[in-house]
Amino acid sequence: MRPRSSCLLVLMALASVNYAMPAASEQKPLKIIKTLPEYIIPCTVDDPDVNNCIKNTFNHLRKYLQRGIPELNMDPLDPLLMDQLLMENGVGNVRVRALFNNMTVLGAGNYSVITVKSDLSRLRIDLGMRLPRISAMGHYEVSGQVLLFPVKSRGDFWATFNDITAVISLYGRDVARSGENFMQVDKLGVDFHLGGKSRFRIKDVVNGNTVIGEAMNHFLNENANEIIGEMKPAAGASIGKHFKSFLNQAFLQIPRRIWLRDPKMVDSSSDSTEDESSDN
């Protein structure tokens, strides 16, 4: 009985903790892309059809993001390797530390952007997208106290999510560096909905014998929708932080004049040079 109820408590704990992430993986070196690369379809802020243009840009980027963009030092999106994701809460009835590490995520590169809404005067962009299937596997460690129960679980997990619709909200800001302007993402919001059935499996090496392990797995799968429902804000927050760093790795190397021109913006890079004709 005890191990099973501590499993339940772990799940409850996961559903309600606040998320603190370690400093996002250390900043990789940033270059400045000077000419239009093949992976970008440029857009202009005053284009009446700019949302459609942004949609096409992100969909065109897909096949490059899937395998990674070496000149931007961007790792592949599919499979996506996440070293660690830390979720911690030190106050209240639920005091747990949950660490997921060595995660492999499959399917993130199969996104399709369906709708775009934007207010480019504020660099706000909402991307509505679909992902047919995401699966993830890796190690997890949870420890702490829930109500008065000590909780400790560690092992391997596998999870699959189907028919995902998501809205990614980008809160951008214009930043200047080396005479160029970039859109930096200060905040990235994630909201998602799972249309299909989700599956979980864990192999707990602390509490687990096979019978208990099967009971946990049965419980996880029977209650998948409820668990996901409760974990949504927390999951969205940690996923959002990860993809904020991921996108900034691109946005901070590709000047606005290359991918999202604003004719009203003074193009500081062309002030000092005369060679506007050198378009190769």
Ligand X SMILES: *[C@@H]1O[C@H](CO)[C@@H](O)[C@H](O)[C@H]1NC(C)=O
Interface contacts to ligand X, rule CB under 6 A:
102, 104, 106-107, 110, 132-133, 135
CA-nearest of 250, 69, 73, 261 to 269 is: 261
Nearest residue to ligand X by CB is 107
Shortest Å, Cβ 128 to ligand X: 19
Query: For the chain, what is the total number of helices (H) and then of strands (E)?
Result: 6, 9
Instruction: Name the DSSP letter for residue 241.
Output: H
Beta-bridge mates of residue 113: 129
What would you measure as the largest C-alpha separation in the chain, in angstroms? 77
What DSSP string runs through 32-61? ---S--TT---EETT-TTHHHHHHHHHHHH
Q: Nearer to ligand X by C-beta: 39 or 111?
A: 111
Q: Nearer to ligand X by C-beta: 66 or 143?
A: 66
Q: Nearer to ligand X by C-beta: 73 or 162?
A: 162
Phi first, then psi: give them for residue 98, nearest 5 degrees.
-120, 125
Question: How many residues are present in the chain?
Answer: 280
Shortest Å, Cβ 132 to ligand X: 6
Rounded Cα distance, 228 and 164, in Å: 12
Shortest Å, Cβ 193 to ligand X: 18
3-class SS of residue 200:
strand
Q: Nearer to ligand X by C-beta: 60 or 261?
A: 60
Q: Nearer to ligand X by C-beta: 110 or 223?
A: 110
Q: Nearer to ligand X by C-beta: 180 or 204?
A: 204
Tokens 């995520």, residue located: 105
Shortest Å, Cβ 102 to ligand X: 4
Shortest Å, Cβ 58 to ligand X: 16
Shortest Å, Cβ 110 to ligand X: 4
User: Which residues have C-beta within 8 Å of that of residue 228, sequence separation ≥ 6?
Assistant: 161, 194, 198, 235
Shortest Å, Cβ 99 to ligand X: 13
Q: Are 238 and 170 in contact (CB under 8 A)?
A: no
Q: Nearer to ligand X by C-beta: 15 or 61?
A: 61
